[in-house]
Structure 1
Amino acid sequence: MLEFERHRPRLFALAYRMLGSAAEAEDAVQETYLRWHGTDQTEIRNIEAWLTTVLVNQCRTWLDSARARRETYVGPWLPEPVPTGHGELGPLESAEQRDLVSMAFLALAERLSPTERAVFVLREAFGYAHREIADMLGITESNAQQVYRRAAHRVQEEKPRFDTAPAHARELVEKFLGAAQSGDIAALESMFSADIVAVADGGSKVNAAKRPIVGVSQVARYLLGLFGRIPSFGADVSIVVEEVNAAPAFVVRSGETVLGTVSVGFTGESIASLHLVVNPDKLAYFQRDDQKFADETAG
């Protein structure tokens, strides 16, 4: 048990990057633990490699079935937001590490096949050699290299470049929040890139835009409409800028209940994308992390 717990944070970080779902990542880690518990551990020569192999292949299987589920999902599907201010997803010190857990990248990664996603995540986020990846996935080393090149090409072609430094990005997000709260549509529009897109995920639980909102004036009007509804949630509603998926984001709460997150993607000084998650099922991990941090602080 203690040996497995030592690997749990890394396994969760890997599963989340593979699945884009914190809840499913926790389930994948638990499934890996059950396999570990039911195996003769004295026969395992490399524990990290064994656990990683079991986990990543579990995630590949789940991604196959997830594709079918997401075809019937109500409205756009977005990854589950994860607070990262306390090391929840491991080291995120470089721009590349932050990019690989951004909402924009995780949404893009849905377009990769399960094997492409596994190879890319293992190589880019965790630094495994192609030989190691091939052994984990049951493919040849040359095949692993080919899959990696194909996945990297797709990601490079389609991935937005969010090249704003974290400290400056926070300043811009706070400025953006101030404009939205004050209803300053001109200020909002001046911060947007010409091709800005806003995507909202409410699933079947919360009313949200069923299609992406595109364009400066359309997104500005959409946001002001959302902020105009906030007082209806009560006097205890708060909107705070916090680190979510390694970038500044709005977190909306009513008392201690998380109502939604708004992740902001930048290109230079301009806001290029907004990802709004209001489906309560997708906020459950965030809510538990809130409570865990509160308990640790109180203790």
Structure 2
Amino acid sequence: MDENDWLAERFEANRPDLRAVAYRMLGSLTEADDAVQEAWLRLSRSDTSDVNNLSAWLTTVVGRVCLDMLRSRRTRREDPLDVYVPDPVVSRADGIEPEQEALLADSVGLALLVVLDTLAPAERLAFVLHDMFAVPFDDIAAIVDRTPTAARQLASRARRRVQGSAPVPEADLSRQRQVVDAFLAASRGGDFDALVAVLDPDVLLRADYGTLPLGVSKRVRGAKAVASQALLFSRFAPFAKPALVNGAAGVVTAPDGRPLAVMAFTVTDGRIVEIDILADPERLRRLDLTFLDD
């Protein structure tokens, strides 16, 4: 085996973990794949003869690529999107596909990714690499061009934001499913009181329609307001198919087999505390929803 084949083999062995890093950094499956591909191009052009830990080297390269992409994204978004739901990882209700396991390790729900998207790029990188992948602050400092102490402070600030904003989901998946099923049953039946009962009083709903002319992306807070929204779209409830969305109980709404929306639910203490809806047709087309055909 020549050196190029050996590097390619090692890279493929690391690809799932690298994609997991990029997904947490970017919240986009397409951009995560682009970042991983860029890491391969940099590897293929580099002299790695003095690299003792190729996995760590690749992780820092992906981190640096993602940092550049985040900074570029902020520059492009002169008018920040009012509501943006990150790309969900959707799988069958009966289990996560093997290739998705690395992506979803550490319970990376959409609610957490939404909070990560509010962080400054350097804060996000420091938090993701250190807290989720145990990258030393010395290595992170080199990526963000700061001292290790400054890198530690970046991660600390990000950690406080995450802990104060991202709800902790119910660990029992069967309990999550019971709560989500109760929500759907109440929606189908037009039962406003039952909807309110299954929602946390301060529940937050985010709906990302992209540029869809028939809908407006929105953020709705409060049990009564969210219940009212659910009743407005109750005609679609019969088409909701159970799924796992980022490893948690969710649904895919697909009238006539055509995906209309992916809904992610965050359940805490027996009630729904957050609902994240992706209904952007262009982004839905890029998701792997082939299990709907089964």
**TM-score normalised by the chain length of structure 1:** 0.85
- Structure 1 residues 243 and 31: CA distance shift in structure 2, 3 A: same
Q: Deviations over 1:72-129 (max 9, x none)?
A: 3665111111125114151756xxx11xx21111111122111111111112221223
Q: Deviations over 1:33-78 (max 9, x none)?
A: 1112222343433211221121111111111122244453665111
Pick from 175, 180, 183 the counterpart of residue 173 of structure 1. Answer: 180
Pick from 40, 61, 82 the counterpart of residue 68 of structure 2. Answer: 61
The 3-state SS of whatever aligns with 1:222 is helix
After superposition, residues 27-176 of structure 1 pair within 5 angstroms as 27-72=34-79, 75-83=82-90, 85-87=96-98, 88-90=100-102, 97-98=106-107, 101-176=108-183
- Structure 1 residues 136 and 210: CA distance shift in structure 2, 3 A: closer
Q: Deviations over 1:242-277 (max 9, x none)?
A: 111121111122455432111111231111111110
Specify the code of the residue in structure 2 equivalent to 1:260: A
Partners of 1:251 and 1:245 lie apart in 2 by 13
Equivalent residues, number: 282
Partners of 2:16 and 2:292 lie apart in 1 by 20
- Structure 1 residues 124 and 265: CA distance shift in structure 2, 3 A: same
Q: How far has the Cα of 1:174 moved from its partner? A: 1.6
Specify the code of the residue in structure 1 equivalent to 2:217: K
Is 1:6 paired with 2:8? Answer: no
Partners of 2:252 and 2:15 lie apart in 1 by 27
- Structure 1 residues 263 and 72: CA distance shift in structure 2, 3 A: same
Structure 1 gaps of 5+ residues are 232-236
Q: Residue 265 of structure 1 contacts residue 274 of structure 1 at CA under 8 Å; is this kept in 2?
A: yes
Is 1:195 paired with 2:194? Answer: no
Specify the code of the residue in structure 1 equivalent to 2:102: G
Q: How far has the Cα of 1:294 moved from its partner? A: 8.6
Q: Where does residue 240 of structure 1 map in the other structure? A: 241
**TM-score normalised by the chain length of structure 2:** 0.86
Q: How far has the Cα of 1:220 moved from its partner? A: 1.1
The 3-state SS of whatever aligns with 2:177 is helix
Is 1:204 paired with 2:197? Answer: no
Structure 2 gaps of 5+ residues are 1-7
Q: Where does residue 226 of structure 2 map in the other structure? A: 219
Partners of 1:13 and 1:189 lie apart in 2 by 36
Partners of 1:145 and 1:225 lie apart in 2 by 47
- Structure 1 residues 20 and 92: CA distance shift in structure 2, 3 A: closer
Q: How far has the Cα of 1:131 moved from its partner? A: 3.1
Partners of 1:89 and 1:241 lie apart in 2 by 19
Q: How far has the Cα of 1:168 moved from its partner? A: 0.8
Q: Where does residue 234 of structure 1 map in the other structure? A: none
Q: Residue 175 of structure 2 contacts residue 270 of structure 2 at CA under 8 Å; is this kept in 1?
A: no
Q: Where does residue 271 of structure 1 map in the other structure? A: 272
Q: Residue 24 of structure 2 contacts residue 113 of structure 2 at CA under 8 Å; is this kept in 1?
A: yes
Q: How far has the Cα of 1:214 moved from its partner? A: 2.0
Partners of 1:257 and 1:126 lie apart in 2 by 37
Q: Residue 32 of structure 1 contacts residue 51 of structure 1 at CA under 8 Å; is this kept in 2?
A: yes
